[in-house]
Amino acid sequence: MQNTERIAICYDFDHTLSPDDMQAYSFIPSVAFDKETFWAQSNADALRHHMDRNLAWMKKMLDEAIRTGQSIRRESFMAQGQAVELYPGLTTWFDALNAYGAARGITVEHYIISSGLKEMIEGTSIARQFARIYASTFLYDAAGQAVWPAQVVNYTNKTQFIYRIAKGTFDENDERVNQSTQPDALHVPYENMIYIGDSDTDIPSMRVVKRKGGVAIGVYDPKAGSHRRMCDLFLDRRIDFFAPADYAQGAPMHRILTRLIDLAAARHALAEETRALRAHVQRCD
């Protein structure tokens, strides 16, 4: 069964792979704001108009860019993604895990499930490492200008992408995601799904992954010096593991992931043994 040879690692982005919100590195300074004021005003707009917070910041991005004469083209947002800082170790993380998995007969796939802006993530140096990037994105008109939200990803609808990845129904409009899928027809078995996130907004996705037999991992900024929330989530059994946001080889996060790959390989080997025994029993009959 091909699907037992594959695992999927799903990552939040802001504060999981990057130390700050992606807009803080280039976009917010370009429209003459400090990040605290930008987010305070955006969140106030959401409360005042009963808006989804993601829709509020997307509108504010367009409003402030237009006000200050900044470009609102896709390529401009992607260029701003180049300024996004990444946590240590990420430049080698993906290739190292892929190689580790391949040596054990496991294909490792990486996915982003983020409430941030897809275009900015696509501009980062690690974008090519992801099989799919699920995130909020703008609709662009014939002139290439952002005019409307095309996709909004928030903490509750993040969960749909867990099912999309598991079932292989990757397109956001593929309604087959709602159909029942037999375990041997899954693109990735749920027990081989791993979700990595940093905050309460990741809890619904973590809950889905754990309930389905996969693994949820919490991550925290080691420079912030506080991981109390991760301790609480671990004690409440919301997450299976937690580690500092250091993706270097030999760091705790790397050790956890390589052992999960080992576990997937062992499950696959045992499944092969079971199939061999079933074939033997049929011959006995």
**Pair 166, 8: CB distance under 8 Å:** yes
Count CB atoms within 10 A of the CB of residue 93.
25
Rounded alpha-carbon distances, angstroms, from residue 66 to 32, 123, 145, 191, 259:
12, 21, 11, 46, 49
* Distance from C-alpha of 232 to C-alpha of 64, rounded to nearest angstrom: 38
Judged against a pLDDT cut of 70, whether residue 66 lies above it is answered with yes
DSSP state of 144: S
**Pair 217, 242: CB distance under 8 Å:** yes
**Pair 219, 90: CB distance under 8 Å:** no
Judged against a pLDDT cut of 60, whether residue 26 lies above it is answered with yes
Please report, for the chain, the start and end positions of each structural domain, with discontinuous segments joined by +.
2-20+86-284, 23-81
First CA to last CA distance, the chain: 24
Tokens (6 digits) for 221: 């900024």
Tokens (6 digits) for 178: 């709602």
Strand-pairing partners, residue 197, are: 218
State mean pLDDT over 243-268.
Answer: 96
CATH 3.40.50.1000 fits 2-20+86-284, yes or no: yes
Tokens (6 digits) for 190: 């749920």
* pLDDT, tens digit (0-9, with 9 covering 90-100), for 38-65: 999 999 999 999 999 999 999 999 999 9
**Pair 1, 152: CB distance under 8 Å:** no
Q: Tell me the residue type at 43.
A: N
Tokens (6 digits) for 263: 């576990």
Tokens (6 digits) for 191: 């027990």
Report which secondary-structure segment, H or E, holds 63: helix 53-68
Instruction: Using pLDDT thresholds of 50, 70 and 90, give the confidence band for residue 285.
Output: low
* pLDDT, tens digit (0-9, with 9 covering 90-100), for 92-106: 999 999 999 999 999
Question: Collapsing DSSP states into helix, strand and coil, what is residue 89?
Answer: coil
State mean pLDDT over 127-145.
Answer: 98
Taking CA 137 as the corner, what is the angle to CA 136 and CA 142, rounded to the nearest 5 degrees?
165
Buried/exposed 191-220: b ≥16 CB within 10 Å, e otherwise: bbbbbbbbbebbbbbbbbbbeeebbbbbbb
Tell me the whole-structure pTM to 2 decimals. 0.94
* Distance from C-alpha of 209 to C-alpha of 203, rounded to nearest angstrom: 10
